Amino acid sequence: HSFTPETSTLANFKKFKQAGFNINHTVFKTNDQAQSALDLAQKSGIKMMIYTDELINDTDKTVRRFKNHPALFGYFLADEPSPENFPALKVLVSKIKNADKLHPVYVNLHPNYAPESYLNGLSYSVYVDTFLKSINVNFLSFDNYPIVNNKVRPDWYQNIEIIRSASLKVNKPFWAFACSTIHFDYKKPTLGGLKLQQFGNLLYGAKGLQYFTYITIDDEYWKKNNYSYSIVYNDGTPTPTYSYVKQVNKQVKTLSWIFMKSRVDSIYHNGDTIPIGTRRMNFLPKRFKKFNSYEKNALVSFMTSGKRKFVIIQNKDIFKPMPFSYQLQPGVSTVDNTTGKIKAGDTKENMYNIPPGDILIFTYL
């Protein structure tokens, strides 16, 4: 949730946009609250994914009211539904799509660490497949907050492998999350941790990046569970996390020419141990004479965009830089990961320290 109805102000929307966001998701009770937020979003140059009680209870009328609003991105229907919610969701989705063929419908799925009781005893991959078979969403979305007590969940990559494979099967893109709020055992976000999550999502092929959450909500449940210190405080002023998120979003935007149109051909892990459900990279990539991450934990994604090939390596340590040495064959370039510009590669051996959670990009035709 980005805002509450009370914090949906022009100043807050502008601050949100300045952090590099382009879609806002807020839960509203009434259509009038959503209307006023959409008008502010339009003035701020951002779009909104809306949810109101009336969208559920008076679907047709609500969709007709909002479908031509220039700031509408789409309709949010449910967060972490269980399989018993699928039939009702299916009906809602078809009602919305009958009234509005243009705007996407969004449902966000459980992570793979959700208890089986939440999934009606289904395995996680069957849960995802069942959802996609029964509900005609425009893209697949799931939340998984992988950094607990500053350590990466052992089954995070397995979750994203399952989502990627399901999205390829139905030929629909997927969106993924980073956690940007202290709660339970989730600690204060770090720059390396945010990069690990969002670049990890991109290297797996995500086409939309989300954050939980933007504003620090000020209610009893949040206080009781130590929710604090999101991207902005509850009055809209930035927390220190704001500048990290702004930095990550800016870097992602600079590199979006790679990620928006590319497809992931294959993805591998390097290191002393590789995560459950993933594949180890045990070969020298084409067009490289040397590719050495010294058994440090790394993610390597092979992507294609048009005629261009990309090989992207990510440092999976959220605190320490990763030494990486490489030697290129002629014709391989690097991409500066802060400017997004292609730089001619040379064929001598190079050593590079990849910052925590960050990436190094190679490309050739």
CA 188 to chain centroid, in Å, comes to: 19
Measured CA angle at 349 (ends 348, 352), to 5 deg: 125
Alpha carbon distance, N-terminus to C-terminus of the chain: 42
- Which residues does 153 contact at the CB level (< 8 Å), separation at least 6? 113, 144, 146, 147
Q: For helices 191-203 and 240-254, give the axis angle rounded to 10 degrees.
A: 30
Low-confidence ranges of the chain (pLDDT < 50): none
Residues of the chain with pLDDT > 70: what percent? Answer: 100
pLDDT at 1: 64
Residue 121 CA to residue 239 CA, distance in Å, equals: 40
Q: Are 40 and 70 spatial neighbours (Cβ–Cβ below 8 Å)?
A: no
pLDDT at 87: 98
DSSP, collapsed to helix, strand or coil, labels residue 235 as: coil
pLDDT at 129: 98
For residue 258, give the nearest of 293, 302, 292 by alpha carbon.
302
pLDDT in tens, 285-329: 999 999 999 999 999 999 999 999 999 999 999 999 999 999 999
To which residue do tokens 């003035």 refer?
43
Two tokens at 168?
């390829």
Question: What is the model's pTM?
Answer: 0.98
Beta strand 359-364 pairing with 308-315? antiparallel
Helix spans in 225-346 (H)? 240-254, 256-259
- Which residues does 237 contact at the CB level (< 8 Å), separation at least 6? none
Phi, psi of 171 (to 5 degrees): 55, 45
DSSP, collapsed to helix, strand or coil, labels residue 358 as: coil
Residue 18 CA to residue 310 CA, distance in Å, equals: 30
